[in-house]
Amino acid sequence: MAKSKSGFTLIELLVVIAIIAILAAILFPVFAQAKAAAKAAATISNIKQQSLAHIMYSGDYDDLVCPAQTQSAQPGSYDLGGGLVFTPWTKLIYPYMKNTEIFGDPLGPNFGAVAGLTIEDVRYLFPRFGLNWNGLNTATSTGLAGVSMTAAANPADTVMLTTRYGVNGDTASYEIVTYVPSSGPTYDVFGGLLSFPPAGIQVPANWGKGGDFDDPAFGLNPVTGRYTAGIALRHADNIIVAWVDGHANKKKPGQLGAGTGFRFDKSGANTSAVGDIAVPTTDPGLSQYLWDLQ
């Protein structure tokens, strides 16, 4: 008597394939969201470590916030020639972190090669995070100086760092701000490449439609900071923020724009023109403003 052969019919195989396809369609987005959430957690960790490094720096420097950059020669300074020497804030806080990879954002573009610079220098000069330099620094006759770490009325609601623009290959330069008392600030470009404000955030200047970053030539879009002064919304339209007290979390652009007169719209259609942006001098707007010391 011949033995019968068992196997799957074509219909059964098609049903199994259809079930696998349905499960994949359901699970793949979940996996992608979990991966993005993990990267956002890593970004929050990176920016928090930087904020804690800033706090430790202040403990060694008379309670002063780290300046966005110094313009005096010291170990690790960059000599641009013509008597111009500077050290960015990233190098100033490095001794308290001992890891330049922390200046990267897992959801941002990788650090690309820049001619004449080591990968360490690229991370120092093009961090994926920006310092609230005009809110936490003051101009002096020789450059920038940090304010007192205790100067902020509400440290938990005063921005220290945010996620910052980053372009693929990192072809943007670091812009050096020098202060000359008789003529005001001047700007010098490091590396002769496309320039942006110095590894930091300048608010409310440059915010909104018509601002300095609202220029197709810069290659930015609403996610990378076209309407938010280069502040990047890489994390599901959220901005990762570290505060003066050292904690870090996510914020929507509208929350960080509170008190500026800025209205955010990814299309740009309803975004305030740069001329409409102003910091109010009376409540309730002033109490919402997160970029100054008041």
Widest Cα–Cα separation across the chain: 108
Long-range contacts of 273-280 (CB under 8 A, 24+ apart): 273/208, 273/209, 273/210, 274/206, 274/207, 274/208, 274/209, 274/210, 274/211, 274/212, 274/214, 275/210, 276/208, 277/204, 277/205, 277/207, 277/208, 278/204, 279/204
pLDDT of residue 102 exceeding 90:
yes
Residues 17-68 pLDDT 10s? 888 888 888 877 777 777 778 888 999 999 999 999 999 999 999 999 998 8
Residues 166-176 pLDDT 10s? 653 443 444 45
Q: Do the Cβ atoms of 39 and 32 come closer than 8 Å? A: no
How far apart CA 265 and CA 222 sit, in angstroms, is 8
Alpha helices in 61-170 (DSSP H): 89-93, 119-125, 133-136
H or E segment to which residue 172 belongs: none
Please report the pLDDT score of residue 225 as a whole number. 77
Confidence at 73, pLDDT banded by 50, 70, 90: confident
pLDDT, greater one: 242 or 78? 242
How far apart CA 87 and CA 74 sit, in angstroms, is 8
For CA atoms 27, 233, 148, 74, the dihedral sign is: positive
Residues 87-101 pLDDT 10s? 888 899 999 999 999
pLDDT of residue 163 exceeding 60:
yes
Confidence at 109, pLDDT banded by 50, 70, 90: confident
Please report the pLDDT score of residue 245 as a whole number. 94
> Would you tell me how many other CB atoms lie within 10 Å of the CB of residue 228?
28
Please report the pLDDT score of residue 264 as a whole number. 60
Please report the pLDDT score of residue 207 as a whole number. 65
Average pLDDT, integer, range 196-203: 44
How far apart CA 172 and CA 268 sit, in angstroms, is 23
At residue 255, the 3 state secondary structure works out as: helix
How far apart CA 171 and CA 194 sit, in angstroms, is 7
Please report the pLDDT score of residue 265 as a whole number. 63
Confidence at 193, pLDDT banded by 50, 70, 90: very low
How far apart CA 83 and CA 239 sit, in angstroms, is 37
pLDDT, greater one: 243 or 219? 243
Q: What is the mean pLDDT of the chain?
A: 75
Please report the pLDDT score of residue 121 as a whole number. 85
Residue owning tokens 């500077």: 86
Torsion on CA atoms 98, 99, 102, 103, rounded to nearest 10: 90
Please report the pLDDT score of residue 158 as a whole number. 92
pLDDT of residue 255 exceeding 50:
yes
Average pLDDT, integer, range 241-259: 86
pLDDT, greater one: 244 or 6? 244
DSSP 8-state secondary structure symbol assigned to residue 113: P
Average pLDDT, integer, range 249-269: 71
Please report the pLDDT score of residue 58 as a whole number. 95
Please list, residue by residue across 15-48, b when 16 or more beta carbons sit within 10 angstroms of its beta carbon and e when fewer do. Answer: eeeeeeeeeeeeeeeeeeeeeeeebbeebbebbb
How far apart CA 64 and CA 91 sit, in angstroms, is 16
